[in-house]
């Protein structure tokens, strides 16, 4: 299925409706395609950009989500490159392990590592991180997180979610990676690494 996006398409619209994007940028100059590439990669959507070799300037192809095809190319090559971009960007869940870049959640051992170093989390911090990381890109309200993570163990207000998110961020985020995003007036979502703000 194909959905048409323009330079006015928001990151949230892309994240909600696209598993991958093929962007035709040949002959249009770079302003349009690079804006759409940025919106798609900001949303964590893997991208294949089809370009004439002269129009590569301005595309950041170092991001894992971006694959480039140069004209002439055929549909099979574009499809293979999209599959490659999607497989590289997708969180892997093998042997009950969730991986997002350098953040690894071992669900069998209740362990979290970041860049190979163990991250000490409380039980609820761990459960909250695991729940969000298992659903990257999806926005959860505070009430929804309370129901899903705390279940019937907690009868207070939603402020406890904010406190746990703040503590989680202090333990797993760094200058280049911000895993948990605030969706103002709604709640929070987990974002895979390599996506710029």
Residues 181 and 119 in one domain: yes
Number of domains in the chain: 2
Residue 128's pLDDT is 95
Task: Let me know whether 117 and 153 are in one domain.
Answer: yes
Predicted TM-score (pTM) above 0.75: no
From 89, 112, 132, give the residue that closes a domain.
89
Examine the domain organization and report whether 116 and 179 are in the same domain.
yes
CATH code: domain of residue 144 = 1.10.10.10
Find the domain containing 152 and state its range: 92-190
- The Cα–Cα gap between 22 and 114 comes to 32
- Other CB atoms within a 10 A radius of the CB of residue 86 amount to 17
Residues 109 and 169 in one domain: yes
**Residue 104 and residue 176 in one domain:** yes
The stretches in the chain having pLDDT less than 70 are: 1-45, 51-66, 88-95, 152-154, 193-197
Instruction: Give residue-wise pLDDT tens across range 19-34.
Output: 555 555 555 444 555 6
Which two structure tokens, joined as six digits, stand for 190?
Answer: 């987990």
């Amino acid at each position: 299925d194909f959905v048409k996006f323009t330079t006015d398409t928001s990151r949230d619209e892309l994240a909600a409706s696209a598993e991958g994007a093929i962007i035709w940028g040949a002959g249009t100059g770079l302003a349009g395609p690079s804006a759409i590439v940025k919106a798609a990669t900001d949303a964590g959507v893997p991208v294949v950009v089809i370009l004439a070799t002269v129009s590569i300037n301005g595309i950041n192809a170092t991001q894992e989500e971006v694959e480039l095809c140069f004209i002439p190319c055929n549909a099979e090559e574009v499809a293979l490159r999209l599959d490659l971009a999607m497989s590289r960007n997708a969180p892997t869940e093998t042997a009950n392990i969730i991986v997002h870049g350098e953040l690894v959640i071992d669900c069998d051992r209740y362990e979290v590592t970041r860049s190979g170093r163990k991250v000490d989390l409380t039980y609820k911090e761990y459960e909250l991180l695991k729940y969000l990381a298992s659903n990257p890109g999806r926005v959860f309200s505070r009430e929804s997180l309370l129901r899903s993570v705390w279940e019937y163990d907690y009868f207070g207000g939603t402020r406890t979610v904010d406190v746990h998110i703040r503590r989680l961020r202090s333990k797993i985020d760094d200058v280049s990676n911000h895993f948990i995003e605030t969706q103002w007036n709604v709640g929070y979502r987990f974002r895979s690494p390599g996506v710029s703000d």
